[in-house]
Structure 1
Amino acid sequence: MTGWSGFILAFAVFFVSHSLPVRPAVKARIVALIGARGFSLAYSALSVLVLTWLIVAAGRAPYVELWPRQPWQSWVPLVALALASVIVALAIGRPNPLSFGGGRNAAFDPAHPGIVGWVRHPLLVAIGLWAGAHMVPNGDLAHVILFGTFLGFAILGTTLIDRRKRRQMGAQWERLTQTARRVEVTPGGLVRVVVGLGLWGLLLWLHMPVIGVWPLP
């Protein structure tokens, strides 16, 4: 299925695949079958596959130009993706009770918050950087709808999560959000930065065989 129908179908499957499995009753049944770790791995794999399908479907949709392509525009997602990859590497598995994607949240220290001192919702910021930067060189209707939706999700998500966390945590919210902004150079942090840059390189290498577009200017 190609054209707008294929793009609409991919979008529909994307939203269903990201909403149905996380419903409490559905998630509980899946976790009972394959365990919590199995659920996380399966859900992550499904997300990557459906997102790839959605991006490919956007490229096959009818081309309706909103603004022209310029050579300099390719640098915007190239640089933004490097930053987003490092942010993800610095955030994954680190304590962050203020958002999602954290681990060992009880160990969170507002005086030494790491990346959370700069961005409270690092994974949403990474998604926003990826989506907003990709809109620049992809000025056709299908890609603007695609990346604009993800950018809107990232921006709205920060507000919704803040509201929910503030309600759940009460007075503790005010204490934990008084985070220090500092650059702390540690061996573990440097390793994460290297891993983030490695992830960036891997995404660039996979871009052509998976998405079908060469990402470098």
Structure 2
Amino acid sequence: MTWTGFAFVFGVFFLTHSVPVRPAIKSRITARIGPRGFTVAYSILSLGMLALLIWSAGRAPYLQLWAQMPWHRHAVHLGMLVTCLIVAISLGRPNPFSFGGARNSEFDPARPGIVRIFRHPVLVALALWAGLHLLPNGDLAHVLLFGVLAGFAIAGRALINRRKRRQMGDGAWTELNAAVAQAPIFTRAASWAELAFRIVVGVAVFAALLILHPYVIGVSAL
């Protein structure tokens, strides 16, 4: 694949991630397939485009910027375990600050859980994933890939904050954000069984990623 082809895939990736979530377009799509249908369709599209982008980076012209060191992989393993736990603990939980919150009417700012630490846990996980993978992938194509995705995740936080502030109103957003900031960082879990289940799922996903990495990505993670 040429650099032009890689740039084209990158452009399509951002196009498919930005256009469907524009309020006017999202409302029309949601009216046809419903909120759950939109979430499922957008998730499938996002994963598919991410897989295509990673595949393209692996086939772009190779230009090494730094060599891989043994500790790079160990750092990625530890960081990816944390990343998987963040995603497992946060997904499907109420989070009025995030684009992916569920049952937001049930959110308790006095017991915000992981939202107290990360207003946007999924974006934090994406930034961690991309930033960590910069270490062992020191060729230009992958540096562009993971560097841009990390920046995309970091910039997305401000974008979603503005959108949520506009939807909720300045007063309500500021009041809710201040209430969460004043809550304890660690509180007693509403359900220890659910927390334990989510941790097990996070560890299981991490193990699955290690095992499937050579088959899905084409390179062993070990």
TM-score (ref. length: structure 2): 0.88
For residues 82 and 34 of structure 1, what CA distance do their matches in structure 2 show? 35
Q: What aligned pairs does 1:28-43 form with structure 2 within 5 A after superposition?
A: 28-43=27-42
Cα deviation, residue 204, structure 1: 2.4
Which residue of the partner structure matches residue 183 of structure 2? 179
Cα deviation, residue 146, structure 1: 0.7
Q: Is this contact kept in 2: 1:76–1:134, CA < 8 A?
A: no
Cα deviation, residue 183, structure 1: 5.3
1:72-93 CA-to-partner distances (Å, cap 9, x unmatched) read 2112222211111111111111
The 1:69/1:86 distance shift into structure 2, 3 A limit, reads same
Choose 159-168 or 189-198, whichever is displaced more: 159-168
Cα deviation, residue 23, structure 1: 2.6
State the superposition RMSD in angstroms: 1.9
For residues 31 and 109 of structure 2, what CA distance do their matches in structure 1 show? 35
For residues 163 and 24 of structure 1, what CA distance do their matches in structure 2 show? 13
What letter matches 1:51 in structure 2? L
Q: Is this contact kept in 1: 2:63–2:139, CA < 8 A?
A: yes
For residues 35 and 46 of structure 2, what CA distance do their matches in structure 1 show? 16
Cα deviation, residue 190, structure 1: 0.9
Which residue of the partner structure matches residue 199 of structure 2? 193
Which residue of the partner structure matches residue 5 of structure 2? 6
Alignment counterpart, residue 208 of structure 2, candidates 191, 202, 210? 202
Which residue of the partner structure matches residue 212 of structure 1? 218
Q: Is this contact kept in 2: 1:58–1:143, CA < 8 A?
A: yes
Q: What aligned pairs does 1:74-153 form with structure 2 within 5 A after superposition?
A: 74-153=73-152
For residues 62 and 26 of structure 2, what CA distance do their matches in structure 1 show? 38
What percent of counterpart residues are identical?
52
TM-score (ref. length: structure 1): 0.90
Matched, 1:25 2:24: yes
Q: How many residues align?
A: 215
Choose 103-112 or 76-85, whichever is displaced more: 103-112
What letter matches 1:144 in structure 2? V
- SS of the residue aligned with 2:62? coil
For residues 144 and 100 of structure 1, what CA distance do their matches in structure 2 show? 27
For residues 35 and 152 of structure 1, what CA distance do their matches in structure 2 show? 31
Q: Is this contact kept in 2: 1:110–1:180, CA < 8 A?
A: no
Cα deviation, residue 143, structure 1: 0.7
Q: What aligned pairs does 1:46-57 form with structure 2 within 5 A after superposition?
A: 46-57=45-56
What letter matches 1:176 in structure 2? V
Structure 2 segments unaligned to the other structure (5+ residues)? none
Cα deviation, residue 6, structure 1: 2.4
Choose 134-143 or 147-156, whichever is displaced more: 147-156
Structure 1 segments unaligned to the other structure (5+ residues)? none
For residues 136 and 216 of structure 2, what CA distance do their matches in structure 1 show? 18
Cα deviation, residue 176, structure 1: 3.4
Which residue of the partner structure matches residue 155 of structure 2? 156
